[in-house]
Structure 1
Amino acid sequence: MPHIKTLIRASFIAAIAAGSLAAHAVDPRDRAFISRGTPEGEVMYKIGKPDHEAFVNNIKGQPEVKTWTYFPHPRDPQTMTIITLRAGVVESIERKIAR
């Protein structure tokens, strides 16, 4: 009955893969825990890629300034978060109630 062993092994691997994806899932409510001084990479790791990115200042020889916008999400349906990054570090966080 090698067929049954193959099915069990495949099911086990699928269960492990699903569990690891759930462990890395981003909870949009974690946006509230980002603070000034947080590095850009840590923001991306904790709350994921922004829904919108805009450059405020991108002039050679000056620190890059950009905003990352996170739109409301079903798990945090009323809050839009706008993070301003200067030279790769969080400079400000604005949270707006969106209705």
Structure 2
Amino acid sequence: MNVRKLTALALLALASASAVSAEPDAAERKFIRQGMGEGEVVLKIGPPDHEAVHRAVRGQPEEKSWTYFPHPRDPQTLTVIRFHAGRVAEVERKIAR
């Protein structure tokens, strides 16, 4: 095998390994805390299953909530995260049966 093919295989293996490690983990939902930004939440646990905007008035901070439904890595737990001005204001985790 020549050096170019070996280098290409190594880069491909590295790229696939980093893609797997960058995938959000539903088990991390219990570690979401007040003050975290929306981007940080998405990086940790992925995009929400449902989003609701509670207040969006020009010139005032936006208020919304993200809902994450139960997942095999976080079974039976419904997670609702409320945001105020792009920061986590409240995290509610309840058992969903």
Please, what TM-score do these two structures have when normalized by structure 1?
Answer: 0.84
TM superposition outliers: structure 1 runs of 4+ over 6 Å: none
| Consecutive unaligned residues in structure 2, runs of 5 or more | none
Render the CA deviation track for 1:29-80: whole Å, top value 9, x for unaligned.
1110111111222112211111111100011122100001111111112111
Residue 57 of structure 1: aligned partner: 55
1:47 to 38, 45, 48: 45
Displacement of 1:82 after TM fit? Answer: 0.4
- Please say if 1:12 is aligned against 2:10: yes
Displacement of 1:16 after TM fit? Answer: 1.4
Residue 68 of structure 2: aligned partner: 70
3-state SS, counterpart of residue 64 of structure 2? strand
Residue 91 of structure 1: aligned partner: 89
Residue 87 of structure 1 aligns with an amino acid whose one-letter code is: A
| Consecutive unaligned residues in structure 1, runs of 5 or more | none
Displacement of 1:23 after TM fit? Answer: 1.5
Report the aligned-residue RMSD.
1.6
Residue 89 of structure 1 aligns with an amino acid whose one-letter code is: R
Cα distance in 2 for residues equivalent to 1:7 and 1:74: 39
Displacement of 1:10 after TM fit? Answer: 4.5
